Amino acid sequence: MIKAIQQLIQKYWGQLMYLVFGVLTTLVNMVIFFGLDHYTTINYLVSNTIAWFLSVLFAFFTNKTWVFQSKYTTLKDFSREMASFFFFRGISFIMDTAIMFVGISLLVWPNMIVKVLDQIIVILANYVFSKWIFKDTSED
């Protein structure tokens, strides 16, 4: 039984790590958004942008290091990975902003309810994007 569990963990290690760091990234995003949204007079879209940027920085380094275990170490390769990561996260940021705007400004739903729904969609999109960015370098 324990061996079977170990094999499952080994087989799905990347997905498990993505889940763990995805949850942590989402917490970073949600805590920053909540703090700015509730304790400042900053517009919710500006708060969302700040939360997005800081959580993407966190996500880049955790995904590179622990989730996809990218071995690229040259400045050129590192820069390519980071640019690709931010480009694709920029696409999900557009989705993020659109969902927030529709949910809060048009549907007049509570900010944090919209943010939670938004994050579920964004996490799924980001996983697909990250698989393209942090490919297995042993194939090169």
Q: Using N-to-C axis directions, what is the helix angle for 75-100 and 44-62, rounded to 10°?
A: 150
Give the tokens for residue 110. 């509570």
**Count of Cβ atoms closer than 10 Å to residue 99 Cβ:** 19
CA distance 121 to 123: 6
Those residues of the chain that have pLDDT short of 50 are 137-140
Q: How far is CA 20 from the centre of its chain?
A: 11
Question: What is the pLDDT, as a whole number, of residue 111?
Answer: 94
pLDDT tens column, 54-64? 999 999 988 88
